[in-house]
Structure 1
Amino acid sequence: MGQNKAEAGDTIVTIHLSKTKLWEVDSEHPQESGLFEAAALLQAGGTVAFPTETVYGLGADARRTEAVERIFEAKGRPSDNPLIVHISDRAQLAELTAPLEGASAALAAQLMDRFWPGPLTIVLPVKPGAVSPRVTAGLATVAVRMPAHPVALRLIAASGCPLAAPSANRSGRPSPTLASHVRDDLSGLIDGIVDGGAAGVGLESTVVEVDGDTVRILRPGGVTAEGLREIAARVEYDAVAAPGAGGTATAAEAESAAAEVQTPRSPGMKYAHYAPQGEMRLVKGELGAVSAYIAAEVRAAQARGERTGVLAFAEHAARYDADCVLAVGSLAQLESAAQGLYHALREFDRRGVQRIWAETCPEEGIGHALMNRLSKAAGHAVVYV
């Protein structure tokens, strides 16, 4: 596949991937000129993937239905799954949302003051006609966030568009934390990819709604419940997002909770996500029992001729002898595990692993979001030992 370099300064290289262009941008010093071509594509109704501090997003002008529909087509995304709108300036909220009132307005403003830019999405009343109905899935609300990534902020500002941007992967696959992951899934299906290096948090944003003095978590993510409690008098969980529903509920309980969601109020509430191609199981219990169970399962699978994988924390990886053992990060530093999760799941696919067993972690802090994503990746299949 040919490569063409454009003389647009030191911060950008343009590469053509079939009909998908790749721009390599210096995330430390992104220049307006370096992002002009990508911004122009967005202005024209195109689709462009770009880095955020969480994962790579696939952006399109949130106001244009034909542009937003291209996101759904490229991803194969269910039509009733709403999209998050990304902005670069809080002034844009006036164009997109209707005002909240009273305590709700005050709390939402406090959350923005503390966590924007950052991995927090807030569900707000949508101003009629402000965005495509495909963005809101017909709801009277719109989910909005301001990413904490210099490339994302520059691109949004240069485009002049509020960007609807789910993760830049085929629906159901592990989310992309590198531009190469986006290429693997979407090359030839979207107009461009802005490569700004690796994402930081590694898991999607936390999605919340506010009601008076209460914050309700609809999807756990990069901002923890503990962090939210520093701002809000009360923090509650939606049933689908609650600890236990993320990693310790039975498959039947998780499916029942998801089935009760008609039109989800945010991404991550209804559909399976993040899954590797191999069959995956979480194993929960005391470490010795977990490692013994996984070892026995690995031997049995290998005897059947299956290629095996184990997803373990760095402290325990040496205990396992599967065909592919990946240390996702440290149990003592779960932020590192969150950063490495999606890359590890994609690595199992690259190595052709057919059966995967994964260790679990406490659902505290970022561990709540980590277990939420692991459980979805495993189709809520948890073995207790």
Structure 2
Amino acid sequence: MNHPTTVTTTIEQLLALPQPPGPGFPLVLKVSPSSFRFNDGVLEPPSNDNERNDHSSVALAAALIRAGRVVAFPTETVYGLGADATNEAAVKRVFEAKGRPSDNPLIVHVSSLDMLSTHLLPQNTPIPSQYSNVLASHWPGPLTILLPKSDAVPPVVTAGHDSVAVRMPSHPVARALIAKANVPIAAPSANTSTRPSPTQASHVHQDLSGRILLILDGGSCEGGLESTVLDALRPPPYVVLRPGGVTVEMLRKLDGFKDTLVFKKTKENETSSEVLAPVTPGMKYKHYSPRIPVILFEVDQSVLHSTIQTRILRLHAEKSKPSSTLTPHQSSSTPAPETLTIGLLQTETQMPLDFSLTTDTLTHPRIRIIHRLLGSSRAEVGRNLFAALREMETECHVCFVEGVREVEEGLAVMNRVRKAAGEIVYDSK
């Protein structure tokens, strides 16, 4: 991946390329978030050569958006794959690049309330008043709201629904891109469908190499989990359709949102229209999965060690069989066949769990455990989760994940891990 400091490729050269562009792409332009400042919602001009280079890079990306192409860019949550939300053909390119099902709607990103009103809402329709306190507290930021949509928003964006999911990102590069493009940008996460969401430009390159023209590399994403999606179009109590960076506890502190509910997919509602025809992403399909099995442990800390130890012994017995299907995703660091490598992502426990008394006695294959402590807070766990899942798939045969309490950011963490997991181990009691 190249990180040029100046823009040497012209928009004409990029638009002349076939779609998808194929080997050698995407072009990666490194930009500093500090180069972009807003004053009363207006992007300020650059003040030095480095900032001018960064603004030129974003201007190139914005020109591609206006020309109907797709661009990957950083947000405060995860990297997004963006297209002009009012251009049906451009939005279809997003679905094609990701391999995304057409009935999985997209979130539209705006840089200002004026852009929202002009492009997304029906004519003479204000933002519903019930959202006033929420937007005053959490926009710009990792919060998506459902709104009635204008006919200017093509059905492909909303999967045919009459509402559109909208947010205003706080990341300076994302806001600058939208402002320079001067159109709302429809953008899901910039990964291939079902994969862990990308929190670094390198993750985007891993998944979308040859499929898109350009990545704006603004460094690692601060939040690490996708935005909260809030539906206040329905009668109260309002519902969080997808938990994220704005926690349910934060929302419940606001006037009118004290009784806010959280949608959960269950056996009872899995055939409902809300699940089968979702109005927002993250409600229907399998998501966030690395290329190795993920096992989630939702057990009390008092039995976590013994429960994992039992599973290690079971996996060792399985790996010992000639017919074993436990194989890691092939990479330069793929573990040796005589070793069973287990990734262990710890969340609540802050000291690496020691299984040496068990693993040192096992041979053919030997056991190797790679520990990762995801953080000392639930927000930090969320920030590191997707990158850790991607790391584990290159080094391990299987990944164990310790569950986290479903409070604050922990609710969003568990929402993602449950969707990534092929198996969940519960307390036996």
The answer to whether the Cα contact below 8 Å between 1:214 and 1:232 also exists between their aligned partners in 2 is no
What aligned pairs does 1:39-188 form with structure 2 within 5 A after superposition?
39-94=62-117, 95-98=119-122, 105-128=128-151, 130-188=152-210
Q: Distance in 1 between matches of 2:94 and 2:28?
A: 17
The answer to whether the Cα contact below 8 Å between 2:200 and 2:221 also exists between their aligned partners in 1 is yes
Runs of 4+ residues over 6 Å off in structure 1 = 99-102
Q: Distance in 1 between matches of 2:145 and 2:201?
A: 26
- Alignment partner of 1:28 is 2:34: yes
- Aligned with 1:294: secondary structure? helix
| 5+ long unaligned stretches in structure 2 | 9-13, 15-21, 37-50, 320-339, 357-366
One-letter identity of the residue aligned with 1:371: M
What aligned pairs does 1:1-385 form with structure 2 within 5 A after superposition?
3=2, 5=4, 7-8=6-7, 18-30=24-36, 31=51, 32-94=55-117, 95-98=119-122, 105-128=128-151, 130-210=152-232, 211=234, 214-234=237-257, 235-240=259-264, 253=266, 257-260=269-272, 261-305=275-319, 306-313=340-347, 315-320=350-355, 323-330=368-375, 332-351=376-395, 353-379=396-422, 381-385=424-428
Shift of 1:120: 0.2
One-letter identity of the residue aligned with 1:372: N
The answer to whether the Cα contact below 8 Å between 2:76 and 2:171 also exists between their aligned partners in 1 is yes
- Using the size of structure 2 for normalisation, the TM-score is 0.79
| 5+ long unaligned stretches in structure 1 | 246-252
Deviates more, 1:64-73 or 1:231-240: 231-240
- Aligned with 1:381: secondary structure? strand
- Aligned with 2:34: secondary structure? coil
Q: Distance in 2 between matches of 1:201 and 1:328?
A: 17
- Using the size of structure 1 for normalisation, the TM-score is 0.88
Shift of 1:355: 2.2
Higher alpha-carbon Rg:
2
- State, as a whole percentage, how many aligned pairs show the same letter: 41
Give CA-to-partner distance per residue, 1:273-324, whole Å, 9 cap, x none: 0012111221122223111111221233234434322221361423346634
Q: Distance in 1 between matches of 2:253 and 2:68?
A: 40
The answer to whether the Cα contact below 8 Å between 2:72 and 2:79 also exists between their aligned partners in 1 is yes
The answer to whether the Cα contact below 8 Å between 1:143 and 1:266 also exists between their aligned partners in 2 is yes
Shift of 1:17: 6.5
The answer to whether the Cα contact below 8 Å between 1:201 and 1:335 also exists between their aligned partners in 2 is yes
- Aligned with 1:265: secondary structure? coil
Q: Distance in 1 between matches of 2:27 and 2:133?
A: 39
Deviates more, 1:210-219 or 1:171-180: 210-219
Give CA-to-partner distance per residue, 1:90-125, whole Å, 9 cap, x none: 1112120138989x8222122111111000000100
For the aligned residue pairs, the C-alpha RMSD in angstroms reads 2.5
The answer to whether the Cα contact below 8 Å between 2:106 and 2:280 also exists between their aligned partners in 1 is yes
